Chain A
Amino acid sequence: MREEDTSTWAVIIILVMVFLLPIGWIFFAYPAEPHYVVTGEPVRDAAQAAGIRVISTSDITWPIPGAEGGTIYILEDDAGNTLAVQTQTFNSAESRDAAILTFSAQTMGKGKTAGTLVVIGDQLIHFDPDPGGILSRIGAELRKMQGVQ
C-alpha cells in the first residue's frame, strides 16, 4: 500500500472513530433505566425530602402511544417559586423509550430541550423550565430512586 493510501485510510478511520467513540462511550456510561412498576409517588417523596411543598395536583394523560396517565404536581419552595412537574406511566419499555426519543427531538434550535426529563422505572417525570431552582433541590433525590425496584 502506498504511503498516500495509508494516510487516506488513516483519515477515514479517524473520522469514523471520532464519531463512534464519544457516542458509544455516552451510551455505555449512561445505561438505560430498566422498565419496572414504580410504587408510590416519587415526586411527592422527593419534594418532601427536599423541603418543597406540593400545593396542588391534577391528573393528566399525555396524548402519546403507551401513556397510561399520571399527575401534574405544582411545587412551591419557601421563597414562593413554583414549578410544574408532570409524571406519566408507560405500559412498556418501548413506548416509554419512544416518548423519551420524542422529547429529546424537541430541542430548541440546535440547543437543548426547554424542560428536563427524569426516568424512573415505568415513569417519565418532566420538569418545566425552572427559574426558581426547585429542580436542583429535588432532582438529586429523584436520581437516588432510579433503579430501586
Chain B
Amino acid sequence: MSEEPVLPAKTGIAPQKVLGIFALAMINVAAVLSIRNFPSMAEFGWSCIGWYIIGTILFLIPLSLAGAELATMLSDKGGGVYAWCKEAFGEKGGFIAIFCEWSNNLVWFPTVLAFIASTLAFALSPALGSNAIYLFVVMMIAFWGTTAIAYFGENVSSKFQNYGVILGSIIPSVLIIGLGISWIVSGAPIVLPPFSPDQIVPDFNLSTLPFFATVILLFAGMEMAGFHALETRNPSTDYPKAMAISAIIIFACTVLATLAIAFVIPASDLSLAAGVMQAIQYFFNALNIPGAVAPMAVLITIGGVVSLAAWLIGPAKGLGVVAEGGSLPPLFNRTNKYGSPVAVLVIQALIGTVISLLYVFLPSVNQAYWILSAMTVELLCIVYLLVFASLIRLRYTRPDALRPFRIPGGIPGIWLIGGMGAFGVIFSFIVGLMPTGDFTSSQAVSYVAGVLFGTFLLAVPPLIFLKLKKPGWVERGTPQEESK
C-alpha cells in the first residue's frame, strides 16, 4: 500500500507519479462500492442477482473496458473523461463531458453528505438525526475536510482513500458476508425461499423501468481512476489491472453482502424508509451482536466520506485541466504546490455549501429531492454516453494509435462493448425521466419538463464559456506563469 513518489515535483506543480495498481483500484472501489445499496437490493431477494448481472453486463464491464482502453491510450493526458472525449469530439465534447460529471456532483453532494451525517448520528445519538444544525455542521465538516485533503495533493488524498476504502467499504462488506456465512453454517433459517434459477430473473414491466436506470448506474464511478492518469507510475500496465481488480472487488462484495442481508432479514422487515442503519441494526440484532451496530455506523460513515472524496477530487482535477487549457478564466486555473486545482476545489466547495444549506434548512420537499436525484442520473448518462461514443469514434479516427490495452474483437468488438454501454445509458436516460407512480398527470408533465430543463441548464454552460473564451485565458492561465 505504501506508494512513495518516484518523481518528486520540481516546480511544485508537476504531477507526482505516486499511484500504482492498488491505489488506482481503491479510487474506483471508493467511488462505487457502497453499503447503502445492500439493504435496498436485498429487498429483491434472489432476483437481486439478476439485477446485478444486468448492471454488470450493460455498464460495469463496458465502462471498465472502455476506461482501460482510453486511459492507457491517452495516459499522457490529464483530465480523465475530459481528455478521452476531447480526443474524440474536440474541446466542446470534452468540456461538456467533464462539466456534466462535475455539475452532477454538486447536485449529489448534499445527498451523500446528509447520509454521512445521519449515519454518524446513529453511532452518537440517533436523536441528532432530526437536528438540522447538527446535520449541517457534520455535513460541512465532511465536505470542507475532504476538500482540505484534496488540497494536499495526490500523495495525501490517495493514502486517505486507500486506508479509508478498506476501513469504510471493504471491511464492512466482508464483515456482512462473513456473518451471513456464519448464519448459514449455524443452521439458522434462511428467510429467502429455496433457490431456483428462475428466481434470479427480475420482473420487467413499466413499474420496474425506473429501477432499471438506478441499477445500471449502481456501478457509476468506474472511470474515476482515469482522472489520475498523470499521477500514475505505469499507466499502460497498471490501468487495466486496476480496472479488473476494482471491478471484481466491487461485484463480489456487492452481490455477496446483499445476499447475506437477504438471507437474514425478511423483506417486509427491512424498513428502508427509516434508513440503511435500521436494516444493519436488524441484521446485527438477529445475529445477537447488537453492540456491533455503533462501530458499524462509524465504519459506514467513513465509507461515505471516502466515496465523497473520490467524486470530489476526480472531476475537480478534470475541470482544472480544462482551466489549464484556457477554456475557463484564469481565476479557475490556480494550482497549488501540491498540484491540486485549488481554485476549482474552493469554487466547488462554496457552491456545494450553498446547495447543502438549501437542502437542510428549506422545508423538506420529497418531490424536490426526487427531481434532484433524477437530474443527477440524467447528467451522468450524458457523461457515459460521450465516453462510449468516444471509445467507438477513436477506433475510426485514430485506428493506429498505441493502445496498450485494446478491447478484443476489432471493430465488431468495440461496437459490442461500446454499444452495450451506450444502450444501457440511453435507456437509463429515457426511463430516468419517468416519474414514480404517485405523480398525478399534470405533476408528471411538470416533473419531466423540470428534469429536462434542470439537466439542460447544468449541461450547457461549457458552450457559453467557450463563446466567452478570450485568448488571454490561455496566456495568463498557464500553470507555468502561475508558479512564477
Chain A residues within 8 Å of B, Cβ to Cβ: 3-4, 7-8, 10-12, 14-16, 18-27, 29-33, 60, 62-67, 72, 74, 84, 86, 88, 93-119, 124, 126-133, 135-137, 139-140, 142-144
Within the complex, the shortest CB–CB distance from B347 to chain A, in Å, comes to: 7
Within the complex, the shortest CB–CB distance from A41 to chain B, in Å, comes to: 17
Asked if A27 and B365 sit within 8 Å, CB to CB, the answer is yes
Asked if A117 and B130 sit within 8 Å, CB to CB, the answer is no
Instruction: List chain A residues, Cβ under 8 A from B454.
Output: 22-23, 25-26
Q: Which B residue sits closest to A18, measured CB to CB?
A: B457
Expressed in whole angstroms, the Cα–Cα distance for A27 and B355 within the complex equals 11
Expressed in whole angstroms, the Cα–Cα distance for A105 and B360 within the complex equals 11
Instruction: List chain B residues, Cβ under 8 A from A144.
Output: 440
Within the complex, the shortest CB–CB distance from A62 to chain B, in Å, comes to: 4
Within the complex, the shortest CB–CB distance from A45 to chain B, in Å, comes to: 15
Asked if A7 and B470 sit within 8 Å, CB to CB, the answer is yes
Instruction: List chain A residues, Cβ under 8 A from B360.
Output: 101
Expressed in whole angstroms, the Cα–Cα distance for A72 and B268 within the complex equals 9
Within the complex, the shortest CB–CB distance from A56 to chain B, in Å, comes to: 10
Expressed in whole angstroms, the Cα–Cα distance for A14 and B462 within the complex equals 10
Asked if B436 and A26 sit within 8 Å, CB to CB, the answer is no
Instruction: List chain B residues, Cβ under 8 A from A26.
Output: 365, 368, 371-372, 450, 454
- Interface 1/0 per residue, B280-303 and A, CB below 8 Å: 010000000000000000000000
Q: Which A residue sits closest to B218, measured CB to CB?
A: A109
Task: Specify which of B365, B373, B440 is in contact with A111 (CB 8 Å cutoff).
Answer: B373
Q: Which A residue sits closest to B276, measured CB to CB?
A: A106
Which 7 residue pairs are nearest across A and B when measured between Cβ atoms?
Answer: A139-B438, A136-B437, A126-B273, A32-B363, A97-B364, A114-B40, A22-B454
Instruction: List chain B residues, Cβ under 8 A from A115.
Output: 40, 272-273
Asked if A130 and B130 sit within 8 Å, CB to CB, the answer is no
Q: Which A residue sits closest to B216, measured CB to CB?
A: A111
Instruction: List chain A residues, Cβ under 8 A from B217.
Output: 109-111
A31-B363, A94-B132 known, 15 other contacts, Cβ within 8 Å: A7-B473, A8-B329, A11-B328, A22-B450, A30-B367, A65-B129, A102-B118, A108-B215, A110-B221, A112-B213, A112-B373, A114-B272, A129-B40, A133-B207, A139-B438
A-B contact count (CB 8 A): 280
Pairs across A and B, CB under 8 Å, 5 listed = A22-B375, A22-B454, A110-B104, A114-B43, A143-B443
Q: A14-B461, A22-B457, A108-B41 are contacts. A117–B273 as well, Cβ < 8 Å?
A: yes
Q: Which B residue sits closest to A6, measured CB to CB?
A: B468
Expressed in whole angstroms, the Cα–Cα distance for A66 and B351 within the complex equals 31
Expressed in whole angstroms, the Cα–Cα distance for A71 and B3 within the complex equals 54
Q: A26-B372, A104-B111, A109-B219 are contacts. A64–B126 as well, Cβ < 8 Å?
A: yes
Instruction: List chain A residues, Cβ under 8 A from B268.
Output: 72, 74, 84
Within B1-50, which residues are at the interface with A (CB < 8 Å)? 32, 34, 36-37, 40-41, 43-44
Within B264-283, which residues are at the interface with A (CB < 8 Å)? 267-268, 271-276, 278, 281
Asked if A102 and B458 sit within 8 Å, CB to CB, the answer is no
Asked if A64 and B468 sit within 8 Å, CB to CB, the answer is no
Expressed in whole angstroms, the Cα–Cα distance for A127 and B207 within the complex equals 13
Task: Specify which of A74, A103, A111 is in contact with B273 (CB 8 Å cutoff).
Answer: A103
Size bracket of the B interface = 35 or more
Q: Which B residue sits closest to A5, measured CB to CB?
A: B329
Asked if A14 and B358 sit within 8 Å, CB to CB, the answer is no
Expressed in whole angstroms, the Cα–Cα distance for A88 and B220 within the complex equals 33
Expressed in whole angstroms, the Cα–Cα distance for A105 and B438 within the complex equals 20
Instruction: List chain B residues, Cβ under 8 A from A119.
Output: 366
Asked if A107 and B436 sit within 8 Å, CB to CB, the answer is no
**B135 interface residue, CB < 8 Å from A?**
yes
Instruction: List chain A residues, Cβ under 8 A from B211.
Output: 114, 129
Asked if A19 and B106 sit within 8 Å, CB to CB, the answer is yes
Q: A110-B104, A114-B40, A114-B43 are contacts. A104–B271 as well, Cβ < 8 Å?
A: no
Instruction: List chain A residues, Cβ under 8 A from B464.
Output: 14
Instruction: List chain A residues, Cβ under 8 A from B76.
Output: none
**B396 interface residue, CB < 8 Å from A?**
no
Q: Which A residue sits closest to B110, measured CB to CB?
A: A105
Instruction: List chain A residues, Cβ under 8 A from B170.
Output: none
**B178 interface residue, CB < 8 Å from A?**
no
- Interface 1/0 per residue, B105-126 and A, CB below 8 Å: 0111001101100100000001
The residue among A21, A110, A113 with the most chain B CB atoms within 10 A of its own CB is A110
Instruction: List chain A residues, Cβ under 8 A from B111.
Output: 104-105, 107
Within the complex, the shortest CB–CB distance from A124 to chain B, in Å, comes to: 7
- Interface 1/0 per residue, B234-275 and A, CB below 8 Å: 000000000000000000000000000000000110011111
Expressed in whole angstroms, the Cα–Cα distance for A138 and B271 within the complex equals 20
Asked if A111 and B114 sit within 8 Å, CB to CB, the answer is no
Asked if A12 and B366 sit within 8 Å, CB to CB, the answer is no
**B331 interface residue, CB < 8 Å from A?**
yes
**B380 interface residue, CB < 8 Å from A?**
yes
Instruction: List chain A residues, Cβ under 8 A from B271.
Output: 60, 62, 86
The residue among A16, A18, A99 with the most chain B CB atoms within 10 A of its own CB is A18
Expressed in whole angstroms, the Cα–Cα distance for A18 and B103 within the complex equals 9
Q: Which A residue sits closest to B441, measured CB to CB?
A: A140
Instruction: List chain A residues, Cβ under 8 A from B106.
Output: 19
Task: Specify which of A12, A98, A131 is in contact with B203 (CB 8 Å cutoff).
Answer: A131
Q: Which B residue sits closest to A7, measured CB to CB?
A: B468
